[in-house]
Amino acid sequence: MIKELVFNKDTYIGYLKIKKGGMKIIPGDIDTKIINKRDQILQHLKHVLSGEKSIKEKNINKYFKALGGLYIRSDMYGSNDEKKSSINGALKLLKLSDKQNLPTQEILNYFKGSAPTLYKKSQLFVL
Is 48 a member of any domain?
yes
Domain count, the chain: 1
Is 22 a member of any domain?
no
Phi-psi group of 25: left, alpha or beta (phi > 0 → left; psi -120 to 50 → alpha; rest → beta): beta
Is 121 a member of any domain?
yes
**Per residue of the chain (127 residues), what is the pLDDT tens digit?**
555 555 555 655 556 667 777 777 777 778 788 888 888 998 999 999 999 999 998 999 999 988 885 554 554 444 555 667 788 888 999 999 999 999 999 999 999 988 888 888 887 665 4
Is 62 a member of any domain?
yes
SS3 15: strand
Taking the C-alpha atoms of residue 104 and residue 21, their distance in angstroms, rounded to an integer, is 36
How many residues appear in the chain?
A: 127
pLDDT of res. 53: 93
Is 95 a member of any domain?
yes
Is 21 a member of any domain?
no
Domain with 116 in it: 29-126
- CA angle centred on 59, ends 53 and 60, rounded to 5°: 100
Hey, how many other C-beta atoms are within 10 angstroms of the C-beta on 83? 15
Is 114 a member of any domain?
yes
What pTM value is reported for the model?
0.70
Is 2 a member of any domain?
no
